Structure 1
């Protein structure tokens, strides 16, 4: 299921597709959404502003201390934005007629192959700005560890890692649902992404897909 490689005959794929298998969709995480949702740049910025404001409290270091704190904030946020952009540029998600392929890794690329028939559920989390996170829930225990998959894994599920497509377009949800139905023709119900506020979870209506946790 996991491959480390250097040469891609097709971007995002470690090899040519077998006869009869076609690419349905390819995309990468939106780096700005990734910075906000994974690297928590907004929360970090608010924390630094709060710390800078303490410089003006009695006994604080005043304007000089606030400026030093804000400079540190700029450097720290710059690093986080760089990591988000590098992570986005090194990641390609591919949906084929038979599987989901996740290629990621800045220093050491990895490739994860997950057959569509092995996906028992897919949970969608709306991030706003037309972007969503999609948790893929395999029917069998996923063989890779949480740290090996980060950040393309559901947060806090360290004991039972669940692969995750990060900051993908909302329009990809019905495409994935249709592909999963095609892998399991018994399921014919409609799957749609209901409008939700940012940060909320979306329930997918097809039993083949599952429901949001």
Structure 2
């Protein structure tokens, strides 16, 4: 028997039905492999274990036969495989639990695998949106909030712009990010006041 943890949602990705006049324009979630690479630093972690394995092999190759030297480095390769599997599983679970929603009035983010929260960001509370594109077409749209809006980095991770002191919620590693960014820019411009209209900036 299948079980849907979000079966109680009146509308997928939203805690309640949109009010009259609000329309859902787009919904999506992160690409799990792009999230693994970008948010979890997959290749950096694999490189770290690769260096450890090579270092171990180099330190014993002049003391042991070739087969035994390779065997001495093998535990690091096994550990790298275990860590890789955990990173992939983490990204897959995070992506599966996430729904990003863009309407004609706001951006909503249902995020969190263990502790699920929904962020509602009306366009009037968003000052800027920065688009970062990858070569495979996936990308991240980071949102800069206005006024006293403060969000917890730990609660929002990995759906945040990395390496920024102020937490910027982000639609992370989404497919066709450029098209989604254009849709967001048009919708925000139509809804928001001129002084808070979103400016898209590709990185």
TM-score range relative to shorter protein: 0.7 to 0.9
The answer to whether the 8 Å contact 1:120/1:210 transfers is no
Matched, 1:209 2:194: no
| TM-score, normalised relative to structure 2 | 0.86
Residue 46 of structure 1: CA displacement?
1.4
The answer to whether the 8 Å contact 2:189/2:197 transfers is no
**1:102 is paired with a residue of what secondary structure?**
strand
Residue 75 of structure 1: CA displacement?
0.1
- Measured against aligned partners, the alpha-carbon deviations of 1:30-57 in whole angstroms (never above 9, x if no partner) come to 0000000001111111111111111221
Which residue is equivalent to 2:65? Answer: none
Aligned equivalents of 2:197, 2:25: Cα separation in 1: 22
Alignment of 1:158-197 (within 5 A): 158=165, 160-168=166-174, 169-170=176-177, 171-184=179-192, 186=194
Aligned equivalents of 1:211, 1:128: Cα separation in 2: 16
The answer to whether the 8 Å contact 1:37/1:127 transfers is no
Alignment of 1:136-147 (within 5 A): 136-147=143-154
Which residue is equivalent to 2:32? Answer: 31
Which residue is equivalent to 1:55? Answer: 56
Q: Per residue, is there more helix in 1 or in 2?
A: 2
Aligned equivalents of 1:22, 1:172: Cα separation in 2: 15
Alignment of 1:21-170 (within 5 A): 21-59=22-60, 62-158=69-165, 160-168=166-174, 169-170=176-177
- Measured against aligned partners, the alpha-carbon deviations of 1:83-113 in whole angstroms (never above 9, x if no partner) come to 0000000000000110000001111210000
- Measured against aligned partners, the alpha-carbon deviations of 1:133-161 in whole angstroms (never above 9, x if no partner) come to 11101122333211111111122334x21
The answer to whether the 8 Å contact 1:135/1:162 transfers is yes
Matched, 1:7 2:8: yes
The answer to whether the 8 Å contact 1:142/1:162 transfers is no
Aligned equivalents of 2:72, 2:57: Cα separation in 1: 9
| TM-score, normalised relative to structure 1 | 0.82
Between stretches 176-185 and 116-125, larger displacement belongs to 176-185
Q: Name the CA shift for 1:122/1:9 in 2 (closer, same or farther; >3 Å).
A: same
